[in-house]
Amino acid sequence: MNQSERRIYLIKHLQDKMRSGYPEYYSRYYPQYTTMNIPSDTDGQKLLLRALMNVRLPGSADAEFVRIQDEYLHEENSRRGVVTLADMTEVQPDLYMWKGDITRLKAGAIVNAANSQMTGCYRPCHNCIDNCIHTFAGIELRNYCDDMMHKQGYEEPTGRAKLTPAFNLPCDYVIHTVGPVVQGVLTAEDERLLASCYESCLSVADENNVGSIAFCCISTGVFMFPNDRAAEIAVQTVKEYKEKTGSGIRVIFNVFKEEDEQLYRKLLGQG
C-alpha cells in the first residue's frame, strides 16, 4: 500500500467501526463523521482521518488496522521531519530552546499538557498539544492511557505526571501532566501546582533513565496561566531541580508562539 491507499483504508475502517460499535454515541455526538464522503484531495482526507482518530473511543483494534496505521504514521512523521538535540543550540548548560511542533522532537520524552481524564482531546482536529500528540502517536496511546486510568480508578490530580510509551512519535516516551486551570486572578496555589508539574515530570524522567525531556508551555493557552509567569516558573523550577538533585537530564523548552519564544530567550539570556 502507498500512503493514499493506507489513508483511505484507515478512514473506511474507522467509519465502519463507528457505525457498528457504539452507534448511538457516535450518531449523537459526531453524526457528520459516520456518513461523510471521503474527500478527493489529500488535505481533506488527512483532516477527516485526524478527526476520526480524535473522536474514536478507547478500545481494542484489529491487528491489521494497527499495522497499517503504524505504517502510515511512521511515514507521515518522517515526512514532517525529525528534530534532534544536534539541531539546537545549548543556551545554558543542559538547557535548550526550540520553537516548533513538539511532536517532531526525537528526545527521551516530550511533555503533554493533558486533562484530568488523561485519554487525549476528543475535539476533532483541535490544535491543542494533547490533540496533536495523540494524533501522531496513534490510537494505541489513547488505549494505553485509558487502561492506565482504569487501573488507577480516579482522575489524575493536578501537578503530577505519568510516563507512557510514545508509540509512533519519534521520541521514546510521553510524560503527561495536568496543569492548573487559572480561574480569574492567578493565585499562589496555581503557581505551586505549575511548579509541581515541572518537578514531577523531571522526577518521572529521571526515575526512568530518560536522558532528555522537552517541555511544552504547560497551562498557558486554554488553561489561562499568564505566559510570562508560566515561563518564569518553568525555568526557575528546572534550574532548582537540577541543582537540588544533581540531575544531568537535558531540558528543552519547546515554544510554538513568538510571544513565548521572546519570554524564554530573555529568561535564558538570549534576548
Residue 187 in grid coordinates: 493565585
pLDDT digits 0-9 by tens, 179-208: 999 998 999 999 999 999 999 999 999 999
Model confidence pTM above 0.85: yes
pLDDT digits 0-9 by tens, 130-179: 999 999 999 999 999 999 999 999 999 999 999 999 999 999 999 999 99
Ramachandran sector of residue 94 (left: φ over 0; alpha: ψ -120 to 50; beta: rest): left
Domains in the chain and their CATH numbers? 3-57 (no CATH), 82-268 (3.40.220.10)
Contact 195, 233 (CB under 8 A): yes
Q: Cα separation of 210 and 172, whole Å? A: 8
